[in-house]
Structure 1
Amino acid sequence: MAQTVAQAFDPSIWHISNMELTLRLVLALVLGGLIGLERELGGHSAGFRTHILVCVGSAAIVLLSMYGFSEFAADPNVRLDPSRLAAQVVSGIGFLGAGTILRTGITVSGLTTAASLWVVAAIGLTVGAGFYYGSAVLTFLVVVSLFVLNKFEKKFSRAKSKRDIVLKMTKDSACLSNVVTELHHFGIQISKIIVENEEAAAGDIAEMLIVRLQVKLNYKKRFEEVIVSLATITGVIGIESGGESL
């Protein structure tokens, strides 16, 4: 007589040893830390600890989903789905990644960090499920992309390293002078500067200046830091940074 599903069921597949459990969590910590280290060295919003926590947390959720309910495995009225909890990580990590994306004027930054958090969550899921080789290869590819390809990207984008900055400031020659001095302090060259009077109502005298700058970036300084520094100058009312201009 053919065996029933219950008789053929092997409950051992729903159990994991403490040694194996520890190995998977530690491996998730190491792999997540490798990617987080690159983000930390680059001074990004989500760094070393954040990537470790995401990777270890994702691995823990997979482990819980696969082995946390083993006492119910033999119950014929219970149907276990190891992928149910793990699937929620993929959608849930989007909320954390969104917090790393910043918009300054029309310039958007933090997309790479958000993507690194997403892929670190995937690595955690892979480690938690026991795919050690796959998780190691994935981590290697991500580290190469962040460390090596980043250098190539900067090298080949030198010709496109100009940005547009639009400043709204008071009619004070000292204010414009301070802006130029601050840019030089960051090692940024000014390629073009246009000063215009702000449009005023008919019969009124314009009280503000619109200064349009085209600057050449210095990759040793983060562009966001330059914008924040310019915004603190006395007399600067508003600032908008544009995308790369050829």
Structure 2
Amino acid sequence: MIVSAYGFSDVLRSGVVLDPSRMAAQVVSGIGFLGAGAILARGEVIRGLTTAASVWAVAGVGLAVGGGLYTASIAATIIILIILAGIKPLEKRFIGSRQRRELVVHTNRNALSLATLHDTLGAGTARVKQFVMQQKDDSDEIGITLSRVTPVQFEAICKRLRAVPGVREVKESGDESA
């Protein structure tokens, strides 16, 4: 921004009129391109949105500092830090716990293994956060903890698990119906 405002002073003396905001416009589009590169899609999960937004925010603060808007830059930095450092733990605590679902699967002995679960769920396997098997006398009880699943995804996972040979019952933990 400083280069844009003061770097072409010799050209300005010759009578040419320049718009210093053009440099800022190019920074915004360039940082947008870098932010798009930071957003990666891995299967059904999109990652990097916070990183892309942070890079763009830092570029905006840099432009403001270069333009001499120190008070606005400090205020923006404080707001950005509050959002990044303060809201993320709250999000993990309150939203993350609501998006976690637990299943109890009753199967015949050795009917469901981690490999079978992976083959059955495919891309949905990434949502499995815990796979616990408790053996009883007549059956195996398997606890599966899923994270960040919508009700539609949850029902699809239950349906796929019910289709596995040897699986007798699939229910949500705490649910008494099958």
Q: Percent identity?
A: 43
Q: Could you say which residue in structure 1 is the equivalent of 2:6?
A: 67
The offset of 1:67, in angstroms, is 0.7
SS at match of 2:38: coil
- Alignment match of 1:105 (pick from 43, 57, 63): 43
Q: Could you say which residue in structure 2 is the equivalent of 1:89?
A: 27
SS at match of 2:13: coil
- Alignment match of 1:146 (pick from 84, 92, 95): 84
Q: Could you say which residue in structure 1 is the equivalent of 2:115?
A: 175
- The 1:214/1:111 distance shift into structure 2, 3 A limit, reads farther
Contact 2:129 2:145 in 1 (8 A): yes
1:122-154 deviation per Cα after TM superposition (whole angstroms, max 9, x unaligned): 011001101111001000000000001111111
Amino acid at match of 2:129: I
Q: For 1:148-167, list aligned pairs within 5 A.
A: 148-162=86-100
Aligned residue pairs total: 125
Contact 1:160 1:245 in 2 (8 A): no
Distance 1:244 1:178 in 2: 16
Q: Could you say which residue in structure 2 is the equivalent of 1:131?
A: 69
The offset of 1:162, in angstroms, is 2.7
Matching of residue 189 in structure 1 with residue 130 in structure 2? yes
- The 1:188/1:64 distance shift into structure 2, 3 A limit, reads same
Q: Could you say which residue in structure 2 is the equivalent of 1:244?
A: 149
SS at match of 1:85: helix
Q: What TM-score, normalized to structure 2?
A: 0.60
1:74-119 deviation per Cα after TM superposition (whole angstroms, max 9, x unaligned): 222x002111111111111111111111112221111111111111
Q: For 1:40-51, list aligned pairs within 5 A.
A: none
Q: Could you say which residue in structure 1 is the equivalent of 2:145?
A: 215
Contact 2:129 2:144 in 1 (8 A): no
**Which runs of 5 or more residues in structure 2 are unaligned?**
102-111, 120-127, 133-142, 152-178
- Alignment match of 2:57 (pick from 104, 116, 119): 119
> RMSD in angstroms over aligned alpha carbons?
3.2
